[in-house]
DNA sequence: GCGATATTCAACCATTTGGTTGACGATTAC
DNA sequence: GTAATCGTCAACCAAATGGTTGAATATCGC
């Protein structure tokens, strides 16, 4: 009943979840390590990771007692395609990207 | 306090609002005409348009008693850039990207 | 001026969201 | 075996979300 795009965009709407994705861009991480920089409970981070998993933005694999989180960039494709359908902006613009990152990292 | 991307992605997470954006891609529209194809009250659509306006995904201009809605694709740019940084990161120079990120984090 | 049209506002409601805490089931280390 | 670690679950809570209805505010046509 609910469009996968609903799930994708809703998952991306939370700053904690976007920060998690940025962290996972650099390397796969265990749940506890993902939680470490945030000022909230492990259970809360676990929930966020569940939402990202449902949105297929990440995958989780349990090895021993450690659950590893890995980014899954493909899920962004559908959302990206949807946005491209607006077609009024060009492809990735590095200057804009850097300006954006500056803003994002200040917060 | 809240990142503009929070607002943008949250606005895009609702299927009614995405449908409205698709409609506005074809032409500017009055509020009543936007509401016509949906099975919900005019007030509900008015709220959705308010959310899209706050996200700067559209603008609204009142001429007489009619309020015209116009798509504003620029707001999608920041979100698109953010997403493409994940979707296409394989095609980027990952080492340079990581060095860039680290530099930003120090600053 | 008066009625019809365009839109929003205010109050309300049910559901979802993002967080907490404490208990719990695995797994690992000693 | 027992204690510590990793992560989730369940119950709860406050606030936000997406919808409703009915009244209110402009503006237009006649």
C-alpha–C-alpha distance, residues A8 and B46, integer Å? 24
Using the structure, give the distance in angstroms from the CA atom of A41 to the C1' atom of D6, rounded to a whole number.
14
Check residue A51 and give its pLDDT.
Answer: 97
Residue A101 pLDDT greater than 80, yes or no: no
B81 with A96: Cβ contact below 8 A = yes
* Per-residue confidence band for B3, with pLDDT thresholds at 50, 70 and 90: confident
Check residue B73 and give its pLDDT.
Answer: 80
Average pLDDT over residues A40-50: 98
How do residues A53-98 score in pLDDT, each as one tens digit? Answer: 999 999 999 999 999 999 988 777 777 777 766 644 444 444 554 4
Tell me if A58 sits within 8 A of A72, measured CB to CB.
yes
Residue B78 pLDDT greater than 90, yes or no: no
How do residues B84-100 score in pLDDT, each as one tens digit? Answer: 666 554 444 444 444 43
DSSP string across A23-76: HHHH--EEHHHHHTTSSS-HHHHHHHHHHHHHTTSEEEEEETTEEEEEE-TTHH
C-alpha–C-alpha distance, residues A105 and B105, integer Å? 7
Share of chain B above pLDDT 70, in %: 77
Tokens standing for residue A27: 């390397």
What's phi and psi for B28, nearest 5 deg?
-65, 150
Instruction: State which residue has its Cα closest to the C1' atom of D10.
Output: A43
Please give the mean pLDDT across all residues of chain A. 81
A88 with B98: Cβ contact below 8 A = no
Residue B34 pLDDT greater than 90, yes or no: yes
Output the pTM of the full model. Answer: 0.80
């Amino acid at each position: 009943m609910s469009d996968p795009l609903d799930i994708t965009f809703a998952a991306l709407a939370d700053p904690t979840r976007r920060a998690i994705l940025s962290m996972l861009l650099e390397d796969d991480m265990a749940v506890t390590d993902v939680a470490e920089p945030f000022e909230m409970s492990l259970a809360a981070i676990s929930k966020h990771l569940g939402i990202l998993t449902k949105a297929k933005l990440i995958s989780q694999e349990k090895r021993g007692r450690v659950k590893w989180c890995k980014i899954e960039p493909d899920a962004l494709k559908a959302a990206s395609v949807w946005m491209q359908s607006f077609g009024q902006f060009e492809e990735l613009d590095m200057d804009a990207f850097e300006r954006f990152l500056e803003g994002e990292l200040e917060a």
